[in-house]
Structure 1
Amino acid sequence: MAWQNPWYDAAKQHHTPQGFRNPEEELRQPGDLQRWQRERKEQGLPFPPQAGYPAFISDWCQPVDLSGEEDRIWWLGHAALLLRLNQRYLLIDPALSQRASPFPFAGPQRKTPAPLRVAQLPHLDYVLISHNHYDHLDRPTVKRIARQFPAAHFLVPLGMGKWCQQRGVRHVTELDWWQSIVLGSAQFTAVPARHWSMRTFFDRNRSLWCGWVVRNPALNFWFAGDSGYSDNLNLIAQQLGPFNLAALPIGAYAPKWFMRGQHMDPDQAVQLWQQIGRPLTIPIHWGVFELADESLDEPPAVLAQALLSANETSNDFTPWRIGESRTLPNIDSDLS
């Protein structure tokens, strides 16, 4: 008997009896994956950073400093973020292993070192996961968290709870798009993203994918996660904004003909940033794994050109170094 979606709701456009889907048009055609793999191999892509990997690491990585008690956010590379809110620690998509792969000997390898180990955290209260791809849901990291911080509460999209429990997670809540939960002083809402899910050859789109909105009295933060551009993303700002902090992806976009349905490029990220009111924004989904054809140092350069082309002079959407942090109270906000 074919697998049936136990969460299926016919009234929801992103649900199907067999899993989940994007409301947007599917842009990939049969044979596109094979074409991309063939062209990538023929061209020897991706190319290394222009000055080489050691120079890239020197330019774009720094140690993580967890001292202090103020509300703060750290970018840990790729899509991984750490927040300290009212002395509670929140990790988002913590892929901290050497490979984004089911195997320790094959698959995309880190090109920049993980700036933080789970053991360095004083404690951990919440973990948010956007979807089940290996560069966002990292089994070794999840197992370390479950062992060291058994009280940590995981928030995941529909279909990922059992996986977490089987890796030792004791407290996990699954949410559909637009569903919320209040924990402590913060509200967490799962929001749409234009992406897909797959962890094995047999589970494509059986679990949901999402972004997250984290809101407390001083912060309204949108983590867009892994997403292609869509006009539908504007609904998130319309319903849950205005935001005073965001994290938007700018990497894994080349070639655009193959990646555009699942990853936005820097030009699209700038367009979305403008549409949501230009909050302080962390460019994410770059700098660690070579998942597409652009070099590691291309996304920040293309982002700078995209801002220039859009006549934007603000410093509120510029690349951070891996390990860099900012204090949250310094963010100008006008939350209603």
Structure 2
Amino acid sequence: MGSGSSTEAEIPNVTPIVDQEELELDKTLPVLKPDIETLAAGEKSNNLRAVWMGHACVLVKVDDLVVLTDPVWGYKCGPLGKMGAKRYRPPPCSIDELPELDAVVISHNHYDHLEYSTVVKLNKRFGKNLHWFVAEGQAKWMRDAGCEMVTELTWWEEASLEKHGHKYTIAATPSQHWCQRTATDRDKGPRHNFYFAGDTGYCFGFRQIGRKYGPFSLAAIPIGAYHPRWFMRPQHCNPEEAVEMHVDLRARRSLAIHWGTYVMTVEPYMEPKTKLADAVAARGLHEAAFTTVRHGEVLDLDSETVEDR
């Protein structure tokens, strides 16, 4: 070879970095871009569609009412966004990509269910047109964060919401859980219907809720963050208990939430999904009665009817 320069020799040897853990998560817990057009389509009086946005956040269309539950878009859920559980699955879409919302329901004030920066961004996007429904003792925090329409509810209390020419009822029901954001504030604080559990242990109260407000067209029920049981049982239900909640609530369909998004407890991240399917089968329910979905997947229930086997 001559002594002239070689173009090939000047190309640096670059070894691509492949995140094997991320590739595995993309297979086991894929994140889809929500089809907002599908969510919004159809006759307004006959809509029941839901999108799991991750953890306890569900975007649901009940007839023509669009509601968002426990919205958290942050990478970490904790004080100042720097401490707490780390997110290992991203949100399926940005807040700017959400459809027009009518209401946001906040079950309680834990950081993985209520995040300041997300609230600020929702207010910036939707402003005074957004109605917030929160637990007793939470209204001041919401108003300080910039929320204009805030309704505070305690157990068994109801409020009316008039939207799109219809009147909807928002009811607050009991759960077996607790509230806290700082070291000193613990526990201070038309055609279809939808139940949102937020975060809870299993208790007899769900039978009461089912008798008073059921049967529910759709229930969003937590199935994850349950180990070790000696510590988590009073506050987080496991998949077997979640199935009992589904039965107690008299839900026609249930959507699994509160799993596969944040690293919070010690059970394997796919275990809740597997155990839920086993518990549904063991209870003799149709496999579609209580299901998991992928992040961002639109669950279209407009014409579905599932009966127990």
Q: Give the TM-score normalised by the residue count of structure 1.
A: 0.77
User: Is structure 2 residue 141 aligned with structure 1 residue 163?
Assistant: yes
> Cα–Cα, structure 1 residues 296 and 235, in superposed 2: closer, same or farther, change >3 Å?
same
Aligned counterpart for 1:99 among listed residues 47, 55, 76? 76
Conserved? CA contact 2:76–2:87, under 8 Å: yes
Q: Distance in 1 between matches of 2:243 and 2:62?
A: 27
Q: Distance in 1 between matches of 2:134 and 2:249?
A: 24
**Structure 1 unaligned regions, length at least 5:** 1-50, 208-216
Shift of 1:279: 1.6
Shift of 1:53: 4.2
Conserved? CA contact 2:286–2:306, under 8 Å: no
User: Is structure 2 residue 107 aligned with structure 1 residue 130?
Assistant: yes
User: Is structure 2 residue 34 aligned with structure 1 residue 64?
Assistant: yes
Conserved? CA contact 1:89–1:126, under 8 Å: yes
> Cα–Cα, structure 1 residues 327 and 99, in superposed 2: closer, same or farther, change >3 Å?
same
Aligned counterpart for 2:289 among listed residues 292, 316, 320? 316
Match of 2:265, as an amino acid?
A
Q: Which residue of 1 aligns with 2:175?
A: 193
Match of 1:155, as an amino acid?
F
Q: Which residue of 2 aligns with 1:233?
A: 206
Secondary structure in 2 matching 1:133? coil
Q: For 1:287-324, what per-residue CA distance to the aligned partner results, in whole angstroms no more than 9, with x for missing partners?
A: 10111111221100111222233343432212111111
Q: For 1:224-253, what per-residue CA distance to the aligned partner results, in whole angstroms no more than 9, with x for missing partners?
A: 110100012210000111112111111010
Secondary structure in 2 matching 1:159? coil
Q: For 1:255-298, what per-residue CA distance to the aligned partner results, in whole angstroms no more than 9, with x for missing partners?
A: 11100000100011112223333521101110101111112211
Q: Distance in 2 between matches of 1:301 and 1:54?
A: 20
Q: Which residue of 2 aligns with 1:84?
A: 61
Conserved? CA contact 2:92–2:295, under 8 Å: yes
Secondary structure in 2 matching 1:188? strand
Q: Distance in 2 between matches of 1:83 and 1:278?
A: 16
- The within-5 A match list for 1:251-330 is 251-330=224-303
Match of 2:60, as an amino acid?
L
Secondary structure in 2 matching 1:330? coil
Length, aligned pairs only: 275
Q: Distance in 1 between matches of 2:60 and 2:90?
A: 20
User: Is structure 2 residue 201 aligned with structure 1 residue 202?
Assistant: no
Conserved? CA contact 2:277–2:287, under 8 Å: no
- Bigger Cα displacement from structure 2, 287-296 vs 131-140: 287-296
Conserved? CA contact 1:280–1:331, under 8 Å: no
Conserved? CA contact 2:74–2:81, under 8 Å: no
Match of 2:181, as an amino acid?
R
Q: Distance in 1 between matches of 2:135 and 2:26?
A: 33
Shift of 1:333: 8.6
Q: Distance in 2 between matches of 1:278 and 1:193?
A: 16
Q: Distance in 2 between matches of 1:275 and 1:171?
A: 33
Larger Rg: 2
Conserved? CA contact 1:218–1:329, under 8 Å: no
- The within-5 A match list for 1:107-118 is 107-118=84-95
Match of 2:36, as an amino acid?
L
Conserved? CA contact 1:244–1:331, under 8 Å: no
Q: Distance in 2 between matches of 1:237 and 1:103?
A: 38
Q: Distance in 2 between matches of 1:333 and 1:219?
A: 15
Q: Distance in 2 between matches of 1:295 and 1:98?
A: 20
Q: Which residue of 1 aligns with 2:14?
A: none
Q: Distance in 2 between matches of 1:218 and 1:52?
A: 44
Shift of 1:146: 1.1
- The within-5 A match list for 1:2-81 is 52-60=21-29, 61-68=31-38, 69-70=41-42, 71=47, 72-81=49-58
RMSD after superposition: 1.9
Secondary structure in 2 matching 1:174? strand
Q: Which residue of 1 aligns with 2:6?
A: none
Q: Distance in 1 between matches of 2:22 and 2:156?
A: 40
Conserved? CA contact 2:59–2:66, under 8 Å: yes
Identical aligned residues as a percent: 36
Q: Distance in 2 between matches of 1:315 and 1:89?
A: 23
